[in-house]
Chain A
Amino acid sequence: MSTETPLAPAGASTAAPTPGPVRTQRRLPRFAPAGLFLGGLVVGGLLSAVTGFSLVLAIIYGVVLGTLAVYVVSRSVEGRRKATDRLVTSLVTSAFGIAMVPLLSLVYTVLDRGLARLDGAFFTNSMYRVVGEGGGAYHAILGTVIITMLTALIAVPIGLLTAIYLVEYGTGRLKKAITFFVDVMTGIPSIVAGLFAFALFTLLFGNAIRLGLMGSVALAVLMIPVVVRSCEEVLKLVPNELREASYALGVPKWRTIVKVVLPTAIAGLGTGITLAVARVIGETAPLLITVGLITGTNLNPFDGRMATLPVYAYYQLTQPGTATQAFVDRAWTAALVLIILVMALNVVARLISHFFAPKTGR
């Protein structure tokens, strides 16, 4: 604490403010705001208890009352400016708290309802000839993995090469146009990407066609801009000195990129691509209209419908058979597996950037 605020004898200071350029400010003791806030929470709890207890209402009342208490007391002791500051502090903190509610509620719900069927059978059985209990998502998990890998196979080379073009070669209008439209492409709704794949394949192969490959094409449309953006950011970080050193040794540009630039950036590239995969693996809408769903196992993305985990979850929930509960349970478990997949990819991405980051030597 740099400036000690001399606490004037109680009550005296308001009557006769100290003359001089610096007015001493009265401040609340350090723990007063927290105490007041807690007091508000307790009163809020009591208030909701009177009207029939509900945890949500108790917290809402409590936060509002606590904030008001802090504001009023601070305003009467510390003045308007300080009181506004405290008010904003609790507003901003509440905003963060509010955002935590859906996250916690969602994770809790999915765990609560999904754990029921998280068993061996879920991972080893398909839905072939299953109409009630039992069954699993073996076919859907494999389908998701295959389609996602095929998507990455399409999107990563195109995205990476485009990023290389933007960073190493691009100049002038074409570069500007590509950057702008890649940004615009990030915003394409996933269902529109699905319609695009559908329209493309319908024009090529005729009506009512459903292929795993169509799903991959749709997902690639969504994945390419993400890959380009993240790879571009990473490639920009590679220091120019490395490139110049390589050129000075007479290494051609393409070998410089392949042997110097890409290895230096490999950690960031890996992270970016993994996160891009994580983004498309949970996409449902494009697969719903291009790949459809089957109950059996089809591992060939070039022949007919396939099952994928998100679409599987969707249909299990919305079109349950006669044994409703079994279908709903499977749907939630599929949702849980999907979240676990996405989170695992996120963790892998962090690990890549942690372990493969270039050694700086400093």
Chain B
Amino acid sequence: MTATKAPTEPPAQQRTVRRPGDRIFAGSAKGSGIFILLVLAGVAVFLISEALPAITASSEDIPGGEGLAAYIGPLVLGTLLGAVLALLVATPLAVGIALYITYYAPRRIAAVLGYVIDLLAAIPSVVYGFWGLAVVAPKLVPFHQWAADTLGFIPFFAGPASTSGRTMFTVGLVLAVMILPIISAISREVFSQAPALHREAALALGATRWEMIKMAVLPYGKSGVIAGAMLGLGRALGETMAVAIILSGGAGATLNLISNSNPSTIASNIALSFPEATGLDINTLIASGLVLFLITLVVNMLARWVVNRRADFSGAN
């Protein structure tokens, strides 16, 4: 227990012995980390290498016969249209849900309610597609008709209204449900981290609950909501099966949300065309996948940047 000898060793600065076990373990841990970086780089490299034939091919050989840009352009539009619609619907709802769970629901059941909302994230996307096709689309047909009749002057609602409901509008709503749990989970987390002192100070000065939230919680949680919304956007952009099942797409570029002719989305177009594609078609589809990859990469990096920037000055750690 007690050191009887005077220390004869040199000061502790000397490196400890590197045992082979340590070296192997540390090496494999580090190797795994580097491997992940390589995988991500590999995704880009392999996609590019398989997309190259389509990029260099003459424009007549691309499906549609007008070149790669003309093929991917409408798909990009469709992808953005559905995802942005989903985002516009989901964000206010998600913020409301997050506020409800953190500050309105009775303490005891709040955790359970949060878990229930998380269940929405656990449901596979193909099941959302089934549900959207069987339930949401038929239910929304009257709304499509109404929108075409009364809101027809807005380009988004220029008819003729679809009679099946398998439109970009329906897709946007289903996507909104799918990204709801993502946005609300992140919002919930930042809202619950709002400094208790600020909240109590607001209440002590006589603020109502809403005024307290407006003054102490929302300013603090703003960047978290933005980041959550962008992560949700990333998810909605890449969502495949739900869109592939619900949307009757394939028409050219149009902003019309409620008619039978919708632009398809990149992801759903790949899922629908890939199993039967051969030759250059495959390369073209992979090129469109590359575009999707780049779009989501940018959106996600922006989101992470917002999150990390917040972490720097929040003092939560």
Contact = CB atoms under 8 A, between A and B. Distances in A.
Contact of B36 (A185, A192, A314, A332): A185
B128 interface: yes
Interface string A150-176: 000000011101101110111000110
Given A189-B240, A195-B47, A184 B304 contact: yes
Interface string B212-229: 010000000000000000
B270 interface: yes
Interface in A30-73: 56
Interface in A269-301: 278-279, 281-285, 288-289, 292
B270 to A, nearest CB: 5
A237 interface: no
A188 B47 contact: no
B39 interface: yes
Given A158-B32, A254-B22, A188 B135 contact: no
A64 B295 CA distance: 39
B26 interface: yes
Interface stretch (A12-20, A98-106, A120-128): A98-106
Contacts of B249: none
A313 interface: yes
A331 interface: yes
Contacts of A258: 25
Interface string A315-328: 00110000000000
A103 B24 CA distance: 48
Given A99-B97, A110-B131, A195 B36 contact: no
A252 B21 contact: yes
A257 to B, nearest CB: 7
B208 A190 contact: no
Contacts of B139: 56
A199 B293 CA distance: 14
Interface in B189-228: 208-211, 213
Contacts of B239: 189
A191 B267 contact: yes
B231 interface: yes
A5 interface: no
B96 to A, nearest CB: 3
Nearest to B176: A102
A292 B277 CA distance: 13
A187 B302 CA distance: 12
A93 interface: yes
A285 B33 contact: no
For the residues of B in contact with A, the DSSP-based class is helix
Which of B24, B299, B308 counts the most chain A CB atoms within 10 A? B308
B245 A99 contact: no
Interface string A329-361: 001100100110011001000000000000000
Interface string B30-47: 111111110110110011
Interface stretch (B5-13, B115-123, B159-167): B115-123
Contacts of A282: 123-127
Interface in B220-275: 231, 234-235, 237-241, 244-245, 267, 270-271, 274-275
Q: Select the residue from B31, B127, B139 with max chain A CB neighbours within 10 A.
A: B127
A289 B123 contact: no
A86 to B, nearest CB: 9
Interface residues of B, number: 90
Contact of A162 (B33, B96, B97, B285): B33
Contacts of A82: 208
Contacts of B151: none
B130 interface: yes
B122 A288 contact: no
Contacts of A189: 234, 237-240, 267, 292-293, 296
Contacts of B95: 95
B57 interface: no
Contacts of A95: 92-93, 95-97, 99-100
A335 B293 contact: no
Nearest to B35: A158
A310 interface: yes
Contacts of A208: 278
Nearest to B25: A254
A293 B100 CA distance: 44
Nearest to A82: B208
Contacts of A292: 275
A110 B130 CA distance: 9
B134 A109 contact: yes
Interface string A245-263: 0000000111101100000
Contacts of B299: 187
Contacts of A335: 124, 126-127, 130
A188 B293 contact: yes
A205 interface: no
Interface of B: 19, 21-22, 24-26, 28-37, 39-40, 42-43, 46-47, 49-50, 92-93, 95-97, 99-101, 104-105, 113, 116-117, 119-120, 122-131, 133-135, 139, 177, 180, 184, 208-211, 213, 231, 234-235, 237-241, 244-245, 267, 270-271, 274-275, 278, 285-286, 289, 292-293, 296-297, 299-301, 303-304, 308
Interface of A: 56, 81-82, 84-85, 88-89, 91-96, 98-100, 102-103, 105-106, 109-110, 113, 157-159, 161-162, 164-166, 168-170, 174-175, 177-178, 180-193, 195-196, 198-200, 202-203, 208, 221, 224-225, 228, 252-255, 257-258, 278-279, 281-285, 288-289, 292, 310, 313-314, 317-318, 331-332, 335, 338-339, 342-343, 346
13 contacts: A89-B209, A92-B97, A95-B95, A168-B29, A184-B297, A184-B300, A185-B36, A190-B240, A196-B47, A253-B22, A283-B124, A335-B126, A343-B119
Shortest Cβ-Cβ A-B pairs, 8 listed: A189-B238, A282-B124, A95-B96, A187-B300, A254-B25, A161-B32, A165-B29, A285-B240
